[in-house]
C-alpha cells in the first residue's frame, strides 16, 4: 500500500513541489492568472486586485498566528502604516525626487516603518499570550487610527477626510489602469507566498514553529523568545505594510475607517477559514472572504430589485456571514479548507490504493 512519497535524496526532501499534482496546480494557476489578466472584465479585475492585496496581508498574519502561535487582532494598523507611509513619502518627495524613482524609495521605507512598529506592538508578547495579547494588539490598532485622525497630523494624513494617493510610476511605467495594477499585485502576492514558504524551511522559521508548539521547551533548547517573537511580528508587519502600500497605489484615496477593527477581523477570518500555519491556507481563505460580500451583493440585488429598505440589510448580513464561517470552521474543520484539499490530493496521489 502506498503511504507516502519516496524521497531518495536531500534534494527530493527539500523540493517544495514534491509531486505531480502540486506542480500541475502551481503551473496551472500561473497560466490561469496570465489569461485572467488578459481577458477578464474590469469588475473581475477589481475583485482580483482586492484579493491579491488581502492575500499579502493574510500571509503576513499567518506568520504570527499560524506559525508562531501569537494571537493578533491589530494587523489592520500595519496596513494603515504602509498605506499612509507611502502616500506621505510621495507628498514629501514631490518636486525633489523624480516620480519614476519614488516608488522604489517609498515602498521599502514604508515597509521598514511597518516592521519597526510591529516590533513595538509585539513587545507585550514577551509577557502575555492568548486573549491578553489579542487585546494588546487590538489596542495598538485603535492607537494608530486615533493618531491618523488627529488634527495635529492632518496636514500629512488628511485626518478624518482622508488623503489622495499617488499613481505608481515604475521607472516611467505609470500604472494608472486596474489591469496593470493587477499584474503588479499578482507578482507581489506570488513572491510573498514563495518567500514565506521558504522562510519556514530556515532556522528562523523552524524557531517560530518551535515557539508555537511549546515556547518554554523552545527556550530550554536555546531559542531566544525575545528575538524570535519580535522577529515574527516584524516580518508579519512588513508584509502587511507592503499590502498597505499596494492598497494606496490601487485606490485613488484612503480613509482611516478602511483600517479599523473590521479589516483585522476579516484577516483573521480568512486565516481561520483557509487554514492556519499552511502556505495555501491564506489563498483559500481570501477567496472565500472576498467572494462572500460579492455573492451577497448579487443575491440582494436580484431579490430587492433596487429597494433601499432591503439593500440596507446587506452590511449586517455580511458581518453575520463572516461570523458564521468562523464558527463553522472552528467547530467542524479547525484546520481549514487547506486540510480538505490535502485529503483530496493525498487520495489522488495514492490512487488506486486510496480508500475512503
Residue 1 has pLDDT above 50, yes or no: no
Q: Give every CB contact of residue 302 below 8 A, 6+ residues apart in sequence.
A: none
C-alpha grid cell, residue 75: 494587523
Residue 353: which pLDDT band, with cuts at 50, 70 and 90? low
Average pLDDT over residues 321-338: 82
C-alpha grid cell, residue 318: 455580511
Q: What is the pLDDT of residues 46-58, one digit of tens each?
A: 989 999 999 999 9
The DSSP H or E segment spanning 345 is helix 337-350
Q: What is the pLDDT of residues 286-310, one digit of tens each?
A: 998 888 877 777 776 666 665 666 6
Count the helices and strands in the chain (H runs, E runs). Answer: 16, 4
C-alpha grid cell, residue 315: 452590511
Residue 13: which pLDDT band, with cuts at 50, 70 and 90? low
Residue 314: which pLDDT band, with cuts at 50, 70 and 90? low
Residue 93: which pLDDT band, with cuts at 50, 70 and 90? confident
176 contacts 110 by C-beta, under 8 angstroms: no
pLDDT at 5: 61
C-alpha grid cell, residue 102: 519614488
- Domain boundaries of the chain, sorted by first residue: 19-350
Residue 61: which pLDDT band, with cuts at 50, 70 and 90? very high
Q: What is the pLDDT of residues 67-89, one digit of tens each?
A: 998 988 889 999 999 999 999 99
* Average per-residue pLDDT for the chain: 84
Question: Percent of the chain at pLDDT above 70?
Answer: 87
Strand partners, 164: 253
Q: Give every CB contact of residue 45 below 8 A, 6+ residues apart in sequence.
A: 37, 178, 179, 182
Q: Which of 84-88, 124-128, 130-134 has the highest mean pLDDT?
A: 84-88
300 contacts 270 by C-beta, under 8 angstroms: no
C-alpha grid cell, residue 1: 500500500
Residue 65: which pLDDT band, with cuts at 50, 70 and 90? very high
pLDDT at 160: 86
The DSSP H or E segment spanning 173 is strand 173-174
69 secondary structure, DSSP code: -
The fold for domain 19-350 equals ABC transporter involved in vitamin B12 uptake, BtuC (1.10.3470)
Alpha-carbon distances, residue 7 vs 42, 131, 155, 310, 352 (angstroms): 45, 41, 60, 58, 21
The DSSP H or E segment spanning 52 is helix 42-62
The residue that leads in pLDDT, 355 or 264, is: 264
Taking the model in full, what pTM does it have? Answer: 0.88
C-alpha grid cell, residue 293: 460580500
C-alpha grid cell, residue 203: 532556522
pLDDT at 245: 94
Peptide bond before 352: cis, by omega within 30 degrees of 0?
yes
C-alpha grid cell, residue 131: 486573549
How many Å is the maximal CA-CA distance in the chain? Answer: 69
Instruction: Give the residue among 146, 170, 189 at the shortest CA–CA distance from 249.
Output: 170
pLDDT at 15: 67
Residue 216: which pLDDT band, with cuts at 50, 70 and 90? confident
C-alpha grid cell, residue 15: 523540493
Q: Give every CB contact of residue 342 below 8 A, 6+ residues apart in sequence.
A: none
81 contacts 244 by C-beta, under 8 angstroms: yes
Amino acid at each position: 500500500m502506498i503511504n507516502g512519497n519516496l524521497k531518495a535524496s536531500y534534494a527530493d526532501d527539500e523540493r517544495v513541489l514534491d509531486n505531480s499534482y502540486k506542480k500541475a496546480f502551481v503551473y496551472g494557476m500561473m497560466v490561469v492568472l496570465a489569461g485572467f489578466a488578459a481577458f477578464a472584465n474590469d469588475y473581475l479585475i477589481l475583485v482580483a486586485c482586492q484579493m491579491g492585496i488581502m492575500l499579502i496581508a493574510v500571509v503576513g498574519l499567518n506568520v504570527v498566528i499560524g506559525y508562531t502561535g501569537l494571537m493578533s487582532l491589530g494587523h489592520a494598523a500595519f496596513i494603515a502604516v504602509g498605506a499612509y507611509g507611502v502616500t506621505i513619502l510621495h507628498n514629501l518627495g514631490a518636486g525633489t525626487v523624480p516620480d519614476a524613482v519614488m516608488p522604489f524609495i517609498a515602498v521599502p521605507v514604508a515597509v521598514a516603518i511597518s516592521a519597526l512598529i510591529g516590533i513595538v506592538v509585539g513587545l507585550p508578547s514577551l509577557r502575555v499570550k492568548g486573549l491578553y495579547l489579542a487585546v494588546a494588539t487590538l489596542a495598538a490598532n485603535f492607537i494608530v487610527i486615533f493618531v491618523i485622525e488627529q488634527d495635529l497630523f492632518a496636514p500629512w494624513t488628511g485626518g478624518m477626510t482622508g488623503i489622495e494617493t499617488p499613481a505608481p510610476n515604475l521607472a516611467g511605467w505609470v500604472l494608472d489602469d486596474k489591469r496593470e495594477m493587477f499584474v503588479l499585485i499578482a507578482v507581489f502576492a506570488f513572491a510573498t507566498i514563495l518567500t514565506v514558504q521558504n522562510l519556514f524551511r530556515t532556522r528562523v522559521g523552524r524557531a517560530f514553529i518551535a515557539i508555537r508548539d511549546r515556547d518554554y521547551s523552545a527556550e530550554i533548547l536555546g531559542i531566544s523568545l525575545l528575538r524570535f517573537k519580535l522577529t515574527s511580528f516584524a516580518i508579519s508587519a512588513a508584509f502587511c505594510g507592503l499590502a498597505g502600500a499596494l492598497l494606496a497605489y490601487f485606490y485613488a484615496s484612503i480613509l482611516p475607517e478602511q483600517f479599523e477593527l473590521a479589516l483585522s477581523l476579516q484577516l483573521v477570518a480568512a486565516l481561520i477559514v483557509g487554514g492556519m500555519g499552511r502556505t495555501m491556507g491564506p489563498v483559500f481563505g481570501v477567496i472565500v472572504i472576498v467572494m462572500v460580500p460579492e455573492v451577497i451583493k448579487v443575491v440582494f440585488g436580484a431579490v430587492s430589485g433596487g429597494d433601499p429598505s432591503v439593500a440596507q440589510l446587506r452590511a449586517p448580513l455580511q458581518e453575520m456571514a463572516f461570523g458564521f464561517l468562523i464558527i463553522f470552521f472552528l467547530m467542524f474543520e479547525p484546520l481549514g479548507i487547506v486540510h480538505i484539499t490535502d485529503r483530496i490530493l493525498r487520495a489522488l496521489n495514492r490512487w488506486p490504493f486510496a480508500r475512503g
